[in-house]
């Protein structure tokens, strides 16, 4: 393997790419204003080009790519997130825990309206997170809350200090994803450098390390679980999978896909192991939630999660088409009905994939996970950019690369409120249409045109 000195001598082009990337990341982290759309898109486009060229040049030098990926993350250490304000709620929840409050039982607004400040820097945190976030109960699961608590424990009176702690936790999770991701790629006889389509991707570095979204921690547990499952350590895999659910709820959707993994002779299911796997997963998840349990917690959590299906709208695709049909025939937004319909369709699609596909090898299982989550996001009312991270990590173990394309064009979602009329605060559907036209176009090419061409050649 090449040493760093050899790299500096022999990879001058790559060094230029690295230095250019450092300059772009530094500008992104410390000088970019979210509403400066031209700089936002220009910097992101440049970073994506440089990322592609670095993997192209250094795919055989895993050590160099690793140093580069985490050096880029280090640039953000002292930066306050500039594309998301969610971190203010993270800090609030952690400090609530530190003060002995159950964060699931109170919304921020109730304290502010009562002129009660239960945590340090409460007013700053309230103003930072915005009224929408402050008005509803927290929806972040317990493993997330543990991370927030650690930040509060180590930096109770400093917002920047809390940001630094949260960022180190996310970077540590990325180290874990790199470690188990490489091992799983090796076991599946796939090139090791594929992991850098995730680890070195500017989308991941900016959205997770930069903007402090904890999909990175959930993904670490998910990939670790899949590695354990591949190694036939399914009991431990179930426990780790539960930790993934307890970080972000989204892996719950994937549970039915394990049905055929526990099949015998491809004809009969091993019901005993299947039952134990699901039981361990459910019991571990419940155990993690137990410290926060109360009837009020159930009510508040259900109400908050429901907002993603019946109230919130952002960067959607198929849902927006359904919404426009609703406006045409009913004259108003049918999100409550459409949201429930989307949930039903997702369940039906997931069960169909679970029962009709093989899913008895790791590659098949991961491909099914990718298909199910893609369907869910294509149908969703709300698709924040960082949601795509899960699709991206799953895709590196499959033949599909449309999530990589999506990780590039998803930056357009930040431009969706850019309208000719500055007083118009609605999303610009032309920009969203452009984003999804590219994603769906590449998806159709991969799944239909490319496969048809292969069949003709064979």
pLDDT in tens, 415-455: 976 754 555 567 889 999 999 999 999 999 999 988 777 77
Mean pLDDT (whole number) for 326-346: 83
141-166, pLDDT tens digit by residue? 999 999 999 999 999 999 999 999 99
Dist CA 94 CA 155 (whole Å): 10
Which of 63-67, 185-189, 193-197, 451-455 is the least confident region? 451-455
Mean pLDDT, the chain, integer: 93
**CB–CB of 104/272 below 8 Å?**
no
pLDDT tens readout for residues 77-117: 999 999 999 999 999 999 999 999 999 999 999 999 999 99
Least confident stretch, 212-226, 252-266, 283-297, 414-428: 414-428
Q: Above 70 in pLDDT, residue 7?
A: no
Q: Is the pLDDT of residue 284 over 80?
A: yes
pLDDT of residue 420: 46
Taking only Cα atoms into account, the Rg of the chain, rounded to an integer number of angstroms, comes to: 22
Per-residue pLDDT of 364-375, as tens digits, reads 999 999 999 999
From 26-30, 139-143, 328-332, the region with the lowest mean pLDDT:
328-332
- Sign of the CA dihedral running 307, 308, 310, 315: positive
Q: Give the mean model confidence (pLDDT) for residues 302-317.
A: 88
Predicted pLDDT at 4:
60
Rounded-to-integer distance, Cα 49 and Cα 398, Å: 23
- Looking only at the bridges linking them, the beta strands covering 268-269 and 263-264 are antiparallel
Mean per-residue pLDDT for 343-360?
A: 95
266: left (phi over 0), alpha (psi -120 to 50) or beta: left
Per-residue pLDDT band for 3 (boundaries 50, 70, 90) equals low
Tell me the C-alpha distance between 58 and 53, whole Å. Answer: 8
The CA–CA distances, whole Å, from 141 to 214, 240, 350 equal: 11, 15, 23
Cα distance between residue 414 and residue 31, in whole Å: 17
pLDDT in tens, 11-24: 888 999 999 999 99
Confidence of residue 269 (pLDDT cuts 50, 70, 90): low
């Amino acid at each position: 393997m090449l040493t760093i000195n050899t790299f500096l001598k022999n990879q001058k082009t790559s060094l230029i790419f690295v230095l250019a990337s450092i300059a772009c990341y530094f500008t992104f982290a410390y000088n970019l204003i979210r509403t400066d759309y031209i700089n936002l898109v220009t910097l992101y486009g440049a970073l994506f080009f440089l990322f592609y060229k670095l993997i192209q040049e250094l795919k055989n030098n895993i050590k160099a790519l690793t140093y580069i990926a985490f050096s880029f993350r280090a640039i953000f250490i002292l930066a306050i997130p500039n594309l998301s304000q969610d971190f203010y709620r993270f800090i609030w929840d952690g400090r609530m825990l530190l003060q002995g409050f159950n964060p699931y039982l109170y919304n921020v607004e109730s304290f502010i309206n009562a002129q009660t400040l239960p945590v340090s820097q409460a007013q700053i945190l309230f103003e930072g997170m915005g009224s929408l976030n402050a008005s509803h109960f927290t929806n972040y699961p317990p493993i997330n809350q543990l991370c927030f608590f650690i930040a509060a424990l180590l930096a109770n009176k400093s917002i920047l200090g809390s940001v630094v702690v949260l960022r180190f936790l996310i970077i540590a999770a990325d180290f874990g994803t790199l470690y188990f991701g490489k091992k799983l790629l090796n076991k599946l006889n796939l090139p090791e450098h594929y992991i850098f389509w995730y680890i070195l991707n500017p989308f991941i570095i900016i959205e997770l390390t930069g903007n402090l979204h904890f999909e990175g921690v959930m993904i670490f547990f998910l990939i670790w679980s899949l590695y354990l499952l591949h190694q036939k350590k399914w009991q431990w895999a179930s426990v780790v999978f539960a930790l993934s659910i307890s970080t972000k709820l989204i892996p719950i959707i994937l549970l039915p896909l394990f049905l055929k993994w526990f099949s015998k002779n491809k004809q009969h299911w091993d019901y005993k192991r299947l039952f134990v796997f699901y039981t361990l997963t459910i019991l571990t998840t419940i155990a993690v939630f137990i410290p926060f349990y109360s009837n009020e917690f159930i009510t508040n959590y259900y109400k908050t999660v429901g907002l993603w299906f019946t109230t919130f709208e952002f960067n959607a695709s198929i849902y927006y088409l359904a919404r426009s049909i609703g406006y045409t025939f009913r004259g108003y937004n049918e999100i409550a009905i459409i949201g429930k319909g989307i949930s039903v369709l997702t369940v039906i699609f997931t069960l169909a994939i679970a029962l009709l596909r093989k899913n008895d090898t790791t590659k098949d299982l991961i491909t099914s996970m990718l298909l199910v989550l893609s369907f869910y996001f294509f149908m969703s009312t709300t698709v924040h950019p960082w949601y795509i991270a899960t699709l991206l990590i799953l895709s590196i173990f499959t033949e599909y690369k449309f999530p990589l394309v999506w990780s590039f064009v998803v930056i357009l979602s930040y431009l969706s409120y850019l309208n000719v009329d500055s007083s118009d605060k609605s999303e610009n559907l032309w920009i969203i249409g452009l984003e999804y036209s590219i994603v769906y176009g590449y998806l159709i090419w991969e799944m239909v045109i490319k496969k048809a061409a292969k069949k003709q050649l064979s």
